[in-house]
Amino acid sequence: MKKTKNEGTNYLEELMKEIDANVRELVDTFRFLLKYIILFKGSGIEFASLREYVPGQDDATKIDWKASLRSKKLYIKQFEDERDLEVWILLDASNSMLFGTQEKLKSEYAAVVAGTLAYAAIEAGDSVGFAMFGDEVKAILDPISDISQYYNILRIVVDPKKYGGGCNLEGALSYLVNIVADRTILFVVSDFIGVGRGWDDALRMMAGKIDKVVGLMVRDVRESFMPTGIGNMRLSDPFSDKVVTLDLDKVSEEFTRLAKKQEKRIEQVFIEGGMGFVKMYTNEPFVKPLVHYLELTEM
């Protein structure tokens, strides 16, 4: 993510083009599935009052035809719990996210994911909040529903100064839990590498407060599967100065086993806590698995 000023400008333009190509597939999912099905399914909403129907903005299925016929104007039923949803995006900017063997680094891929989620949520009429973390929370934007929020997020995710350091997910979640509203869906975009201890308890605490937490695991294929037949390779720890030389033919099978074990443990924390989880690789489009999850899950 270390780019010159001109390269940064070009990258921002490319990022916006890619987001625009992806976002249209998510907008309807956010509008109908996230807000109406997830939040209001079985939530015991009580009728509060009537208000005049606004064409193109309100759901026509909510029109109260008896009241409308009496007044010769269209009115819809307004419910007590009907208020705007807040969508928060928590983005990992730690050292391990700067790794990549494919077209994009994980950090670049995650930036597109975050931007697309933000744009789709704003287009669906929701307020979007954003936080970026490494060793500590590096950037935070209070939730608003204006399109300017989308551009604010883009400016942050292409800033190389915001990247690097450790992965203090526990600290970021503990910070956010004190400021997010109860009616919130939180997307945690991370590789979940080097998260340390305490993050799972902080995650459960967050899930107990808000409507939904969804983990979006971003991985490079070489973090799950090591190639064979290429001899020795030097590998470095993203969170320390440690470097090792390994014969990949000898360690490939064990590496794959341990990688799957680590990924499965992360997934189990989310699933067992009643949260959502989607794994995506940087060499594959992310929209399809995300939409597939949103459409099929009971959330």
Distance CA 191, CA 188 (A): 10
How many residues make up the chain in this entry? 299
* Entry pTM: 0.76
Q: What is the pLDDT of residue 58?
A: 77
Domains of the chain, each with CATH number or no CATH: 5-27+84-296 (3.40.50.410), 46-79 (no CATH)
pLDDT tens, position by position, for the chain (299 residues)? 544 445 556 767 787 777 777 766 666 666 655 554 444 443 444 445 567 788 877 777 777 777 777 666 787 766 544 456 789 999 999 999 999 999 899 999 999 899 988 988 888 778 999 999 999 999 999 999 999 999 999 989 988 899 999 999 999 999 999 999 988 999 999 999 999 889 999 999 999 999 889 999 999 998 887 766 666 667 666 666 777 776 666 677 887 888 899 999 999 999 999 999 999 999 998 887 887 776 665 44
**pLDDT the model gives residue 39:** 42
Residue 292 is predicted with a pLDDT of: 76
The confidence score (pLDDT) of residue 231 equals 64
Q: What is the pLDDT of residue 261?
A: 94
Q: How far is Cα of residue 143 from the mean position of the Cα atoms in its chain?
A: 15
Cα distances from 293 to residues 26, 184, 223, 231, in angstroms, run 12, 18, 23, 39
